[in-house]
Amino acid sequence: MHGRAATNSVGLGVIAITAQVLSGILAAGAVLAAGVWILIRIHKEAYYDKRRLELALAGSKVGLWDWSVQGGFVVRSKSYGEMLGYEPAELTDRLLWETTLIHPEDLPRLKAALDSYLAGDSPSFEQEFRLRDAAGRWRWVLDRGVVVARDRHKRPTRAVGITVDITARKEVELRLRELSFRDPVTGLYNRTYFNHKLQELDREEALPLSVIMADLNFLKLANDTFGHRCGDLLLSAAAKVFKENCRASDIVTRWGGDEFAILLPNTGEEEALRICQRIRAACARTHKDPVQLSVALGAATRTSMAEPMDSIVAAAEGWMYRYKSLERGDDTSRWLALIDRAFLQ
């Protein structure tokens, strides 16, 4: 009797334990099922959020990118490709500087800005540069990004951002800038542009760099004697001579008033002096009634980065004034003869 009771007791205990285990399994299963349901829900919501975002960006000029910094690849949205006219399969997951999409002139600036941001030297990342579209044209874009994940050493592991097509705005901006750099009388670049290019060419690759300064003789007398229209024609004629006797790589500018300045990158002293000689000869052949062109020219050459750019410009200007004083006697005689001839007609 006692043995049967004991057996029943054990049986009941096993049943109780089994029930507890089953209950735990069922509870765990319920938790797991709930977890799976939540994950499915999150996945669906993420999918629909992504889908809604893609639909919102469809046909727009905005693209999204997600960069795995450590993985070395970038995932770009469908709208990114549409912005540039590419099919999704045509887009690569490589970094821009590993492709031919980015304009070569913009590449160093983009990489420098990005490296500075990732290193923590810059508070944000924002750059304007050119990308090649499917038709082979260069389109201006604005890129903005932010680091969203770091490893335990605080190193960036993931960054996300947007790329916006700003071609229309950039073309207007560049056009306005171009107009601000132009002299309205001669059509040449002005002194502001000269100073801008002088800074750009302040690098080893531009050496030797020559500067020619030119002074148009008797412009004030032409204005006072024959009127400002005559003076403007004289300036335009001089500008035409400079352009025709310089190379495409040379930068011809109106320095101001009766002075002109020419930048000649990768040009030594001998070549600069030959260009001066061509300009003088062309002026002598150019007859503009009632005034013949006459210019004083001076040149100087920078051969080392140790030489300040300002001193090269000053040296060229110094030579110009020196030649002007030497030539003034002949010019004065020619000028008086022109005035007599003009008023005797």
Tokens of 97: 């500087």
For residue range 102-132, what is the model confidence (pLDDT) as tens digits? 999 999 999 999 999 999 998 889 999 999 9
The side-by-side arrangement of strands in the sheet containing 259-264 is 251-256, 259-264, 209-216, 295-302
What is the predicted pLDDT for the residue at 312? 97
Question: Which DSSP helix (H) or strand (E) runs through 332?
Answer: helix 309-344
* Tokens (6 digits) for 75: 């995932």
**pLDDT per position as a tens digit, 247-284:** 999 999 999 999 999 999 999 999 999 999 999 999 98
| Measured CA angle at 244 (ends 242, 249), to 5 deg | 85
Q: What φ, ψ does residue 302 adopt, rounded to 5°?
A: -95, 125
Cα–Cα dist 30/55, whole Å = 36
pLDDT digits (tens, 9 = 90+) for 37-50: 444 454 455 444 44
DSSP string, 217-282: TTHHHHHHHH-HHHHHHHHHHHHHHHHHTS-TTSEEEEEETTEEEEEETT--HHHHHHHHHHHHHH
pLDDT of residue 30: 52
Q: Please, are residues 188 and 260 in contact by the beta-carbon 8 Å criterion?
A: yes
- pLDDT at position 258: 94
| Amino acid letter for position 110 | L
d(CA 170, CA 176): 10
Residues 6 or more apart whose Cβ sits within 8 Å of residue 51: none
pLDDT, averaged per 10 consecutive residues of the chain (345 residues), comes to 50 53 51 45 48 50 89 91 89 90 94 93 92 96 93 92 92 90 95 95 96 92 86 93 95 96 97 95 81 89 96 96 73 52 47
Angstrom distance (rounded) from CA 211 to CA 105: 25
Question: Which domains does the chain carry?
Answer: 62-173 (3.30.450.20), 181-344 (3.30.70.270)
Single out the residue of 232, 244, 333 nearest to residue 281, CA to CA. Answer: 244
CA atoms of 209 and 25, how far apart (whole Å): 83
- The Cα-based distances of 337 to 193, 219, 230, 294 in angstroms read 38, 16, 17, 14
Instruction: Tally the residues of the chain.
Output: 345
CA angle 174, 175, 176 (to 5 degrees): 90
Cβ atoms of 288 and 235 within 8 Å: the answer is no
pLDDT value for 226 = 84
Is residue 140 a contact partner of residue 170, using CB atoms and an 8 Å limit?
yes
